[in-house]
Amino acid sequence: MSAQHFENPEITFQPDHSGGTGKIWKIFWVLSVLTIVELGLGYFLYAEHGQIGAATVLATKCLIGVLTLAKAYYIVSVFMHLGDEIRNFIMTIIVPLALFVWFIIAFLSDGNSWKNLRNTNAGSRANQVEQVQEIKEK
Amino acid sequence: MSTTAIPSGTKWWSGGKSPFNVSYGKVMMWYFLMSDAFTFGAFLISYGTIRFSVNHWADPNHVFNAFPFAGHANLPLAFVSLMTFILIFSSVTMVLAVHEGHQMNKKGVEKYMILTILGGLAFLGCQAWEWTHLLTGEHVAMLGDGTLSVLPTTVKMNPWGAELDHSTMMAALQKTSHEQLVAIASTLHHGAEGAGEHVAKNLSNQELINQIASSGLHATHTGPIAFGGYFFGITGFHGFHVFSGVIINIVMYIKTKLGHFEQRGHYEMIEKAGLYWHFVDLVWVFVFLCFYLV
């Protein structure tokens, strides 16, 4: 069991710290592999720039985002030991952060709408960016 | 309204046991980190909004393609990978320090705290190099007056717009002053050929234009000015967290060395400093995603 002598009286149940460092190194390798896969996908976007469709680019970027969330999960859960805390405490941290789901949807679509309004002069003319591109191609 | 007589010295917050089974200090560190996550999140979402609202944003593979001592080699993603692995590794040494603290192993805590501090300093050094490289960088872009210029990346100047087509670039070169043509030509000849500014000065405008045109120079328009502000603002705010994390870790190292935690009977302060340090790594994961990968 723990070698600690004077425990904090606020803590009712001491977590078991007798384990080795195996899990820490395992998570280090998980994070490294996830980062290398992300870099590989990033390099794929660079090498294939202009040769792959917008949908493939978006899908790759979303995949990189999912891998980033996986890294965040491992850091918070294992390195920060949040996974070892009791459920009520985990919820007081995670539930407020769920607001980010809405923030991202709302603000990015707002940015996109802003771009469309600017390119079309608030809907009063055809999309200007496409016109510029056509001229360039001729 | 009645007033209750409260005995002086009542400790409201020491009710005997934590309903979360976590000490008060650690709970507050978590809530601070949650609020800090909202701050960083607000910055990154604001960046995303602006980026979505413009037609062309700087391509990170073009902006961040340099590596120390590699000259003008095109190495996209290389340097930022190094920075990312430095921070992941210093996170591992931090969690190992926490682990040694649980075992009440003073020497182990000291060793891993030193390694964590060194990791943090290495990251800050990398960031200083990257900032210097961008702020003194040499990228050729077309200014509003239709002339080409060698420009740095700052909060007031973003030379990373869409690429100029050939005819626009040739027209711009004709309008560009002799000094700027010399400056552009000397960016083409770093190192090997040794032509440089010295030789370029003696060439005529037309000779310089021919040299630049045949070099395959990728000149661009200037881009949205917000790029530098967001990049330096957000990486700077993160870098400041790394800096303060290093200071906190140094304080923790000294207190460990002086035996304060051993006397106290537990190394919980190392755990709290560790939470902050891991959070810095966590934020970097998202900064890495938003600025360098996508």
Q: Is residue B190 part of a domain?
A: no
* Mean pLDDT within B261-267: 93
**According to the model, what pLDDT value does residue B197 have?**
65
Q: What is the pLDDT of residues B91-137, one digit of tens each?
A: 999 999 999 999 999 999 999 999 999 999 999 999 999 999 999 98
Secondary structure of chain A in HEC code, one letter for each residue: CCCCCCCCCCCCCCCCCCCCCHHHHHHHHHHHHHHHHHHHHHHHHHHCCCCCCHHHHHHHHHHHHHHHHHHHHHHHHHHCCHHHCCHHHHHHHHHHHCHHHHHHHHHHHHHHHHHHHHHCCCCCCCCHHHHHHHHHHC
Q: Is residue B210 part of a domain?
A: no
| Cα distance between residue A15 and residue A39, in whole Å | 37
Which of B18, B37, B285 has its CB closest to that of A97?
Answer: B37
Using a CB–CB cutoff of 8 Å, tell me whether B96 touches chain A: yes
Residue B66 has pLDDT above 80, yes or no: yes
User: What is the domain extent for residue B126?
Assistant: 24-135+225-293
Q: Is residue B214 part of a domain?
A: no
pLDDT band at residue A86 under the 50/70/90 scheme: confident
Among A1, A2, A4, A91, pick the best mutation site for testing chain B contact (most B Cβ within 10 A): A4
A64–B293 CB contact, under 8 Å:
yes
Domain count, chain B: 1
Residue A46 has pLDDT above 60, yes or no: yes
Q: Is residue B233 part of a domain?
A: yes
Q: Is residue B266 part of a domain?
A: yes
Distance, C-alpha B177 to centroid of its chain: 35
Using a CB–CB cutoff of 8 Å, tell me whether B20 touches chain A: yes
Q: Is residue B128 part of a domain?
A: yes
Q: How many Å lie between the alpha carbon of A53 and the closest alpha carbon of chain B?
A: 15
What CATH number is given to the structural domain containing B110? 1.20.120.80
Among B222, B219, B224, B223, smallest CA distance to B167 is for B219
Q: How many Å lie between the alpha carbon of A3 and the closest alpha carbon of chain B?
A: 6
- Among A134-138, B11-15, B40-44, B261-265, the minimum mean pLDDT is found in A134-138
Q: How many Å lie between the alpha carbon of B18 and the closest alpha carbon of chain A?
A: 5
Q: Is residue B58 part of a domain?
A: yes
Q: Rounded to the nearest 5°, which phi and psi values hold at A21?
A: -100, 10
Q: Is residue B276 part of a domain?
A: yes
Chain A residues in contact with B92 (beta carbon < 8 A): 24-25, 28, 79
| Cα distance between residue B210 and residue A21, in whole Å | 63
pLDDT band at residue B6 under the 50/70/90 scheme: low
Chain B residues in contact with A103 (beta carbon < 8 A): 41-42, 45
Query: Are the C-beta atoms of residues B244 and B272 closer than 8 Å to each other?
Result: no
Q: How many Å lie between the alpha carbon of A5 and the closest alpha carbon of chain B?
A: 5
Of chain B, the percentage scoring pLDDT greater than 70 comes to: 92
